[in-house]
Amino acid sequence: MYSIGEVSNMFQLTVPTLRYYDQQGLFPNLKRSESGVRSFCQNDLESIRVIEYLKKAGMSLKDIRTFIDWCHEGDGTLVDRQNMFLDKLAVVQAEIAELNRVQDLLKFKAWYYTQAVAENTEARIKHIQPQDMPEEIRKAYENSHAELQCPKVSPR
C-alpha cells in the first residue's frame, strides 16, 4: 500500500491532482485509514496507468469515469466498453491523419524559412511556385494545402 505522496512521486501527478481524481470518482475502491488517510493498492496504481492512457487518447475525466464505472458493473457493459474503444480508435486515427498534414505544412514552412535565412531575405522565396520546389517539399506543400478551406461565398 502507498500513501498519496508516494503515488505522486511514482507518476508525474501532484498530490492535489490525485485528490481531485479521487473526488471525480476515478478510484471507486480506494481504501482509507480510520482517520481518513488514503492508501493506494496495486489495483489503484493500475487505474492511474489506464487513466493516463485514456487522457492521452483525448478522453475527458468524465468519460474515463464512465468507463471505470462500466468496469465495475461487470459483463453487462462489455459492449459499451467495446464501442467506446472502437470510437476512440477512429478518433485517434483521424487525429493522426490530421497531424500528418500539419507535419507536412511545418516541413514546408521550415524549408521555406531555411531558404529565406540562407538568402537573407524573403523576397525571392515568397513567390516560389510548387514546380520549383524540391520533390519532397513540393509533396509536403501540396499535401498540407490540399484540404484548406476556401471561400464558399462570393464577394459583394
Partner DNA sequence: GCTTGACCTAAAGTCGACTTTAGGGGGTAG
Partner DNA sequence: CTACCCCCTAAAGTCGACTTTAGGTCAAGC
Interface residues with a second copy (CB under 8 A) are 1-3, 6, 9-12, 45, 49, 52-53, 56-57, 75, 78-79, 81-82, 85-86, 88-89, 92-93, 95-96, 98-100, 102-103, 105-107, 109-110, 113-114, 116-117, 120-123, 144, 148-153, 155-156
Cα-flanking dihedrals φ and ψ of residue 134, to 5°? -60, 150
CB of 77 to a second copy, least distance (A): 10
Running DSSP on this structure, what letter comes out for residue 40? B
Farthest CA pair distance, the chain: 74
Written as nine digits, the cell of 97 is 491523419
CB of 151 to a second copy, least distance (A): 4
Element (H, E) at 148: none
Choosing from 1, 10, 19, 102, the residue that interacts with DNA (CB under 7 A) is 19
Cα-flanking dihedrals φ and ψ of residue 32, to 5°? -130, 150
Written as nine digits, the cell of 154 is 462570393
Give the range of 12-20, 78-86, 117-125, 127-135 binding DNA by CB under 7 A. 12-20
What is the pairing mode between strands 31-32 and 38-39? antiparallel
Give the range of 5-13, 41-49, 77-85, 123-131 binding DNA by CB under 7 A. 5-13
